[in-house]
Structure 1
């Protein structure tokens, strides 16, 4: 299937098109997948500052009481679990390489363990190469290394990219991923957020006609999920990024995400009681 992509500003608002969305959902239950940073919390200067609000946590908990909800993040699974603090959700960390959920679900379906030695080595090299670059941050995750340059002066960003390229050239077990002011070194495997969502749909028995997958994300890494669901699911982009998008609708902010989730919960409850 040819993936259709649009400029973000061309997308209709998911809030303004709620009636259209509800028509698509009629007789079906949405299985909801969401990114964390920039979607459930605003983008912040340092990753440890992205704290979930009580209002958003309540909205997620309420939604998870009526349908399956999964947080799909580039963060380590344990980290995003600790930030969300809800045990009725599913969590796919490290872009889907590490997945957990209620009733003891635990799986690492992407085969990333083989890349751990390369990641260990790359972390040491990058820390050394970038220790003199002001504002840079090398964040080690279990199955990735995020090199943050949001706080790096513009004239130094090229030094960061050169350091990342040197490591990648020497380590074919790793590949680059792009995000908002991040270069990410990941296992060089055919696995991403889109495949993780499809894996969860299969694992949770959500592939019959009763369910429709709905993915909400803000970053370039979420495009794999939007593309994977195009034609049989709903993709909602939060804000904009630097590329075209395979999403169908847009929400402007984290606050709009919360409003949308609350409305979605009310819609599902109404259907269940109807």
Structure 2
């Protein structure tokens, strides 16, 4: 059963946290993909110098907002506002938009208590999933892709898999989503995966 981990974290960061060989890792929201057999795809490297400039500008802007944290990733710049006063959160978004307006090569995406600037390329987790299915030869009628995620950016993947697969949102509160199903927390995700792998093992026997 092919497995892929898609994350907003850098590729090396994801690999270092998961530490499982033989699976596909996709960091930077699917912009940086690597897997066994030489599988490799990276988009947006031409924007690295622009991201450097955006990082410098954002650091100056966010220094004025208590609680705001700037994180430079390989292919994006992230502004975390989890610790920002609720009344000041709009200032973080405004700073990101102002910097993006000066650098047309970048666009803003929104995650859980974070805004990110990344290359303005027509690419996201959904397109990354579809590319992986095609590249790995997993587009047959007997293939059922299952995508599990808890972030706003996972909605792109849920939408991409509405017909060929199943999307599962991890959330303990009701919200609009393109996912087919919901699990409340990581513990339920673990039980779900154990049931899936147990079924596959029984089927093989």
TM, length-normalised to structure 2: 0.95
Alpha-carbon distance in 2 for matches of 1:221, 1:240:
17
* 2:126 paired with 1:158: no
* 2:65 paired with 1:147: no
Map 1:75-94 → 2, pairs under 5 A: 75-94=9-28
Map 1:147-186 → 2, pairs under 5 A: 147-186=79-118
1:132 deviates by 3.0
Alpha-carbon distance in 1 for matches of 2:96, 2:102:
10
Bigger CA drift: 168-177 or 151-160?
A: 151-160
Structure 2's unaligned 5+ residue stretches are none
Superposition CA RMSD, Å = 1.5
* 2:49 paired with 1:117: yes
Alpha-carbon distance in 2 for matches of 1:76, 1:237:
22
Contact 1:218/1:240 (8 A) holds in 2: no
Match of 2:32 among 98, 101, 105: 98
Contact 1:92/1:99 (8 A) holds in 2: yes
Larger RCO: Structure 1 or Structure 2 (Cα < 8 Å, ≥ 6 residues apart)? Answer: 1
- Report Cα offsets for 1:81-120 as digits up to 9, x if no partner: 0011111221011111110112332221xx3122222111
- Report Cα offsets for 1:181-239 as digits up to 9, x if no partner: 11111111110000100111111111112211110001110011000010110000000
| Structure 1 counterpart of 2:176 | 244
* 2:7 paired with 1:70: no
Structure 1's unaligned 5+ residue stretches are 1-66
1:241 deviates by 7.6
1:260 deviates by 0.5
| Structure 1 counterpart of 2:193 | 261
Contact 2:81/2:89 (8 A) holds in 1: yes
Contact 1:251/1:257 (8 A) holds in 2: yes
- Report Cα offsets for 1:100-153 as digits up to 9, x if no partner: 112332221xx3122222111101111111123221111111111111000111
Contact 2:172/2:185 (8 A) holds in 1: no
TM, length-normalised to structure 1: 0.72
Map 1:152-231 → 2, pairs under 5 A: 152-231=84-163
Contact 2:172/2:183 (8 A) holds in 1: no
Contact 1:180/1:241 (8 A) holds in 2: no
